[in-house]
Structure 1
């Protein structure tokens, strides 16, 4: 939440100060972009997983840091607005939890996620080349979740969900030429709730009543190149 508060404050400052900034009126036109992403992904609420008689859950490893990439195509409007569609490439993550009654038998999540987003940017030009921006995104994440318990022979069935996803962030752009721009930024991404299928292995109750659950969020930093037509 501290990241979200910072973004909201920055957005308000940019909006209030926009009239005194030296803005440039970009021409309308299409663009394509490629971005390198560094994601600090986190699985929250793993204690909602189903595992009867375990005592209480505790997090062992609920974070994953990795690089990823995305491509986008969009349209630049005359009054410093941009709208685009973005595809974030698939990426695998692993998380794990333990339980007080079985501390050496960890639940290990195997998560594969990808995103399809529609992003909106508001650019505020400080000079003819440098601008700050606030950005919002709305789309869907497709997330496949499986995993195992204790060892890799005790697997959970895989399950795939398609979740409504949103992002909010801020960044900066620098126009190298009339056609090429560099983009830098940060965004918070909420990909919603995920869950595996039920246990495929036989537990002490001889029941299929165990399931991995979590909520997937990320702090994402990016740098990219944009070709304006």
Structure 2
């Protein structure tokens, strides 16, 4: 992830000084609703999924550094702190055994914003972003001694959202918004436990997304 992070930061911040506008820093508090879709247990001995993984709600934070341009455009680099989520599923004919997928995720994104001013102090905006999500996935089957090994992935992530900003002073703003983030396909390592045929042929998989409501404080400098 380090090389990708460096590239995103350089892209976001190597902006000619001659551009109109100002630099700013922002902090967001996110109510993150993570969801795992297309859940899969890759075992040839299961027949079908009995119960789907639950979604998870967590609180996370993010920090960003950006530049505001003329015409209501902004560009920023944003880091979202690590978030932990658990997803449980049951599969026939072994529905008594829970399969728990444990995911830790963090993101570095390059975001573009377009502000639409209503008056001197209130504006609405739309935003899109792209970047990298670093995901650690592991799990267990039945109990914690029957582990699926940890696997780290650096996935392409993209986002879209909208929000509103209220200008409090010449340099300080508060805002709130909604954002959808797609973090791609995730999977654990293989089973480290001995299954019925003593084979390492099982994994937990799925597609990870994040919907979050957030509040934001932004300071220009």
Calculate the TM-score normalised by the size of structure 2.
0.89
Q: 1:34 — aligned with what?
A: 27
Instruction: Give 1:106 deviation, angstroms.
Output: 1.2
Over aligned residues, Cα RMSD in angstroms? 0.9
Of the three residues 132, 135, 151, the one matched with 1:143 is: 135
The reply to whether residue 202 of structure 1 matches residue 202 of structure 2 is no
Q: How does 1:17-28 map to 2 (within 5 A)?
A: 28=21
Of the three residues 105, 113, 118, the one matched with 1:121 is: 113
Asked if 2 retains the 8 angstrom alpha-carbon contact of 1:44 and 1:62, the reply is no
Instruction: Give 1:78 deviation, angstroms.
Output: 1.6
Asked if 1 retains the 8 angstrom alpha-carbon contact of 2:39 and 2:52, the reply is no
What SS does the corresponding residue of 1:61 show, helix, strand or coil? Answer: coil
Q: How far, CA to CA, are the matches of 1:162 and 1:120 in structure 2?
A: 22
Asked if 2 retains the 8 angstrom alpha-carbon contact of 1:168 and 1:188, the reply is yes
Q: How far, CA to CA, are the matches of 2:200 and 2:59 in structure 1?
A: 36
Instruction: Give 1:91 deviation, angstroms.
Output: 1.1
Question: C-alpha deviations, 1:194-219, integer Å up to 9, x for none?
Answer: 00000000000100000010100111
Instruction: Give 1:55 deviation, angstroms.
Output: 1.4
Q: 2:85 — aligned with what?
A: 93
Counting matched residue pairs gives 202
Q: 1:176 — aligned with what?
A: 168
Asked if 2 retains the 8 angstrom alpha-carbon contact of 1:38 and 1:220, the reply is yes
Q: How far, CA to CA, are the matches of 1:218 and 1:190 in structure 2?
A: 6
Gaps of 5+ in 2: 1-19
Gaps of 5+ in 1: 1-26
